[in-house]
Amino acid sequence: MTRATPGRPLRADARRNYERIVAAAETVFAAQGADGSLEEIARLAEVGSATLHRHFPSRRALLLAVFEDGITALCDQARSLGDADPGPALTTWLRALTVYSVTHRGLSLSLLPTGPATEGDDRCHVMLDEAGRSLLTRAQQAGAVRPDVAFTDLLTLVTAIALAAETTGDPAGAERLLTLALTGIHPR
C-alpha cells in the first residue's frame, strides 16, 4: 500500500519510488534483518536517501510497509476466527502471528508494542491491535483467558519468542515456546 497525503494520491513517479524502496527493503531485511542498511536500500531502489526518508520517516515505518500485506492477512484471519470457540481462536491466531514474525526477519522488532495503539500510530500497529484485542476480549468474556491479560502483553510475548527464535536459529522452537507461555494466560 502506498502512502499519500490524505485525499491526494501519490504522483506516478513517487508511487514507483515507494514501490522500489519497499522491494529493496524486503531484499535487504531478508538478508540482514531489521538492522539492514538504509543506505543500501536507497542504493538498490535507485533513489536518494532523502527520497527514502520522505516516504519512510523511520526504520519502523519502512519495516511495517514491508510487512503490511502479511499483517493485513493476519488481521483478516483474526476476523475469520470471530465465530470460532474464543480460546482456541485466540491461540490459533497467536500461533499464526508467531510463525509469521519468526519467518519474516525484522518484523518482530517492528511489532514491539509501545503501548495501546492510537490513530496516531502506524496503520499496521492499529490493525493488529484491533484484531488481536477483539480475539482477546472474546476469550476473556468466555473465561478462556485471565481478565488481567492485556493485548500488549500478548504482543510482547510473541515479539520476545520471535526474537529468541531469530537469535537461536530455531524457528521450530518458537511454537514450543508459545505453547509453554500460553499456559500462563489460562485461568488458574
User: CB-based contacts of 86: which residues, under 8 Å, 6+ apart?
Assistant: 135, 138, 139, 141, 142, 144
Of residues 25 and 114, which shows the higher confidence score?
Answer: 25
pLDDT at position 5 is 44
| 112 secondary structure, DSSP code | -
Specify the CATH number for the domain of residue 47. Answer: 1.10.10
Judge whether 113 lies within some domain: yes
Q: How far apart are CA 102 and CA 163, in angstroms?
A: 7
Residues comprising the chain, all counted: 188
Specify the CATH number for the domain of residue 122. Answer: 1.10.357.10
Of 1, 23, 27, 173, give the one whose Cα is nearest residue 98: 173
pLDDT tier, 2 (very low <50, low <70, confident <90, very high otherwise) = very low
- Specify whether 52 is located in the same domain as 105: no
Judge whether 52 lies within some domain: yes
- Specify whether 129 is located in the same domain as 48: no
Of 77, 179, 177, 64, give the one whose Cα is nearest residue 135: 77
Judge whether 5 lies within some domain: no
pLDDT tier, 109 (very low <50, low <70, confident <90, very high otherwise) = low
pLDDT beyond 70 at 127: yes
pLDDT beyond 70 at 11: yes
Domain that holds residue 156: 66-182
b/e sequence 123-158, b meaning 16+ C-beta within 10 Å: bbbbbbbebbbbbbebbbeeebbeeebebbebbebb
| 11 secondary structure, DSSP code | P
| 169 secondary structure, DSSP code | T
Judge whether 134 lies within some domain: yes
pLDDT beyond 70 at 145: yes
The pTM is what? 0.73
Judge whether 187 lies within some domain: no
pLDDT at position 58 is 86
Percentage helix, strand, coil for the chain under 3-state DSSP, each rounded to 5 = 70, 0, 30
Domain count for the chain, please give it.
2
